[in-house]
Amino acid sequence: MFQTAFLDYLKTELPANTSTIEAVATALDISYDAAHRRVSLKSKLSLDESIALAKYYNLSLDRLFEITSIEYVTIEKTKHIENESELQQYFEDSYQSLLPLLKQKGSKILYSAKDIPLFYNLNGDTLSQFKYYVWLKLLNPELATKSFDNFAPSPALIKAGKQLGGLYNNLNIEEIWDITSINSTLKQIHFYFKAGQVNTTTALQLCDLLKKVITTIYDKVLSEAHPFMLYYNELHLMNNNVLVSTPNSQLLYVPFTLLSYYKTEDKHTCKEAERFLKKQLQNSKLLNTAGEKARNSFFNKLYAKIDALKQLIEATQLLDFE
């Protein structure tokens, strides 16, 4: 009974023009004759073979055993991060997870940007090092009293970050932003400046580097050389979900903690996420094709937020009576 149900499930999930016998032979690395015996139920699929087929074609075995209306999804959680070496490992694992997907022709990323996408903060400059400082400070109690001036990330961490960030260049990317996507970075700069853990000069430099990030994104919107599309959504708050799609598979990343993600390749879940995100796109303005007025209005609002923080920092310095 299981084998029949599993093979029926496999048939519905296979790419077009792929026979079940061919699929079983390919995934299990067996002859067509041996695959035919299994498909025709003359030979039994072992548990190991069933798992191998499920992994090869991203099938959720849970769905074969559902007895209620509740849907169960198999997920993987990225490791918890508490120190610099674990952050480096997180970058390296993320790189290894994404690389084989993004190397496939026709792959694309759809990013619901509650915050500025992670990849823009990994180039090794002072702003990216500040982001490492913020993340580690929130995750590692030992850094509670350390100022940013006394924080020096290891060359290995910077290298791992650059490697992961480099994956994002020249990809087929769709990002959905709203005006608040920049807020968390602004709040972090302001908070640690007010806490005395980032000095005035550095805080102003961070603002300038943040403005540089926004300008880089603006230039990508205008450039025809980048397969990049930026959408402005005024109706919904984003959630930092990331959907990676290739011609044959999808992978959904859902935020769990500060940097940790749940990720799943469950086809039904990824399709549901894709439908939801595409509805968001339909309710969004594509800034690549929007008129100059609408496009500049969006970016000018972001620049104004950064300038307002700079003025606040400068005014604090000016009004310091001590």
The predicted model gives 300-320 an average pLDDT of 88
- pLDDT (0 to 100) of residue 121: 92
Position 138 pLDDT exceeds 90 = no
Q: What is the reported pLDDT for 67?
A: 43
62 neighbors 96 (Cβ within 8 angstroms): no
What is the maximum span of the chain, computed from C-alpha positions, in angstroms? 88
How distant, in Å, are the alpha carbons of 22, 128, 155, 239 from that of 305? Answer: 57, 19, 32, 21
Band (55; pLDDT cuts 50, 70, 90): confident
16-25, 92-101, 121-130 — which one is most confidently predicted on average?
A: 121-130
Provide the pLDDT for residue 205: 97
Share of the chain above pLDDT 70, in %: 93
How many whole angstroms separate alpha carbon 83 and alpha carbon 67? 42
Distance CA 126, CA 245 (A): 32
State residue 71's pLDDT score: 63
Sign of the C-alpha dihedral, residues 27, 28, 33, 38?
negative
In this prediction, residues 159-163 reach a mean pLDDT of 95
Q: Amino acid letter at 304?
A: A
pLDDT tens track for 104-124: 888 999 999 999 999 999 999
Contacts (Cβ under 8 Å, ≥6 apart) of 174:
108, 109, 110, 111, 229, 230, 231, 281
Instruction: Please report the pLDDT score of residue 69 as a whole number.
Output: 43
> What is the model's pTM?
0.79
Which helix H or strand E contains 129, and what residues bound it? helix 126-139
State residue 70's pLDDT score.
47
Element (H, E) at 165: helix 155-166
Residue 132 scores a pLDDT above 70: yes
- Identify the helix (H) or strand (E) that includes residue 38: helix 32-39
Nearest to 263 by CA among 249, 275, 276, 277: 249
Mean pLDDT (the chain, rounded): 87
> Predicted confidence band at 7 (pLDDT cuts at 50, 70, 90)?
confident
Predicted pLDDT of residue 306: 97
Please answer whether residues 255 and 239 qualify as being in contact, where contact means their C-beta atoms are separated by less than 8 angstroms.
yes
pLDDT at residue 8 in the model: 81
Query: Could you report the per-residue pLDDT of 202-239, keeping only the tens digit for each?
Result: 999 999 999 999 999 999 999 887 789 999 998 888 89
Tens-place pLDDT, residues 66-95 = 544 446 677 788 888 888 999 999 999 889
d(CA 280, CA 266): 21
